[in-house]
Chain A
Amino acid sequence: MSAAVAISPWQRLWGAYVRGSARHPALASLVPFVPVIVLWAAVARSGIFPPVFFPGPVEVLRKFDTLMANGILPAYLEDSVVRLAAGTATGLALGIPLGLLIGMSDRAHRALWPALLFFQAIGDIAWLPILLIWFGFGLTTMIFVIVYTVLFPVVLNTVLGVRSVPLELHRAALSLGASKARVVWEVVLPGALPNIMTGLRNGLGFGWRALIAAEIIVGTSGIGFLMFDARRAGSVVEIMLGMIVLGVLWYIVDGWVLAPIERATGERWGLVTR
């Protein structure tokens, strides 16, 4: 280190962060949030915006504490997660068979594909008004919207996956005496699995937003409702809390559920598609 080049404490800190995050990857996904929170607190404290409009992290944390203690947040969180899980599971249960059918049968493809593209374009949220007329303000409406959202990416990607399985593999399995059902189960489905996972990930990304919109508009419970109810009361603290909970929840779903499944399918079946 030459004396001519002065190294500021910030550079030292940055160097320490770069070295530390290289050693512990978990740090790399947490530390970047620290300056954001500090900045947030500083802006809130400075009083540029009225505190009612722009509360700081301390207020949000305190609100988190209150809502955890009186049980509102856990209850709403559970409602949202259950809706998302039920909707996604139904979407997968409908979407994968439909995708297999369309992917493997030319006739089904010709008959259903245009309608599929059209209904996908309408988009989940545009269904909300008519669903409200059909099913009222309730669980059915919300689940329907999520199923609708998850269904299309899963179907479209399953079709893509099925078509990516080389024809030779079909023929090889058939000539080795596999039944049609076995070909589906042991060749087509595993071959399409990486694509199905992509579909699930896209579907969840959209389904997640649809859930928030549905909860805001249907308005009975859930994180989306928490945020919109807070909006009516003018409580920015609760809205911010809701947004943070949503973001953290997605991180958990993504890191603990989606990524491991994706890795497992990639490792186990990744070679099949090649």
Chain B
Amino acid sequence: MRAGRIASAAAFTLPLLALLVLWEVVVRAFDVSPRVFPAIEPVVKAGIDSIADGSLIRHIGASLVRIALGTSIGILVAVPLGIAMGTNRAVSAFFTPLLRFFSVLAGIAWIPIATLWFGYGFGAITFVIFNAVFFVVAYNTLLGVTGIAMPLRHAALSLGATRRQLLTEVLLPGALPNIVTGIRTGLGFAWRGLIAAEMIATDVGLGYMLFVARDFYRTEVIVLGMIVIGALWLLIDRLLLAPLERATIERWGLVRAA
């Protein structure tokens, strides 16, 4: 079992190592200018330097705080609203096109107006993340609640469930797989929105770090930032979102199929 796991981990990392070797070989063989693409060594050095002077940690911290705050507010507002809109068939039919319209705009399209309303900085960026998550999660919650078969609701009610029990025992569990899918999609949009917004509207954060490096043609910092952004997203996706999705679908997936 353990040997199998190590083997599969090796099978996964080997191609990435090959990619690293290819990178170094290409940069050396073609003598690529460091203003176009850096070699591995300067990137590692940029990484060590920026950790030593604390700037990398500061940028990562700022980005993560923004995304955590915007996402949690978004989820906290969107889920109750989505459920409230989904309880009545006609009401949900009324709100569906509205939510679809706004979830299309969610995220990056709000950057210009957010920066005007809140000024450049923390408020505007958190707002962009909030609405990227909010509309997508609300829309998916609505879809989830409307997808719950009417007989299930009637059954619960006729067995004497109170409205509160209906909410916690039928509606919420039934919609949960959709809610989690919504969170995953919304966070994907939010992550991109974060990077874009930080390039435009702030003086700290990963997007800002990349964009400033561009001004000075410091490609090693840009590549370092890209690797950090990729690694962070992989961590968020694998350690947070995928397990959450698996857990809800395993535990509650059957409720929907019934």
Partner-B contacts on A (CB < 8 A): 14, 17-18, 21, 28-33, 36, 53, 110-115, 117-119, 121-130, 132-134, 205-206, 208-210, 212-213, 216-217, 224, 227-228, 230-231, 234, 236, 239-240, 242-243, 246-247, 250-251, 254
Contacts and interface: CB of A to CB of B under 8 A. Distances in A.
Given A126-B210, A130-B219, A209-B193, A121 B97 contact: no
Nearest to B209: A129
Given A121-B234, A133-B35, A212 B109 contact: yes
B104 A53 contact: no
Contact of A28 (B97, B107, B211, B233): B97
B111 to A, nearest CB: 7
Contacts of A132: 214
Main secondary structure of the interface of A (DSSP, over half): helix
A228 B231 CA distance: 30
B192 A125 contact: yes
Nearest to B104: A250
Kindly state the interface size class of chain B when it binds its partner.
35 or more
Interface of B: 11-13, 15-16, 18-19, 35-37, 90, 93-98, 100-102, 104-105, 107-113, 115-117, 188-189, 191-193, 195-196, 199-200, 207, 210-211, 213-214, 217, 219, 222-223, 225-227, 229-231, 233-234, 237
A1 B194 CA distance: 56
Given A53-B117, A113-B15, A213-B108, 10 more contacts: A18-B90, A32-B95, A110-B11, A110-B15, A119-B230, A121-B234, A122-B229, A128-B199, A129-B210, A247-B102
Given A115-B15, A236-B116, A36 B98 contact: yes
Contacts of B96: 32
Nearest to A230: B112
B96 to A, nearest CB: 8
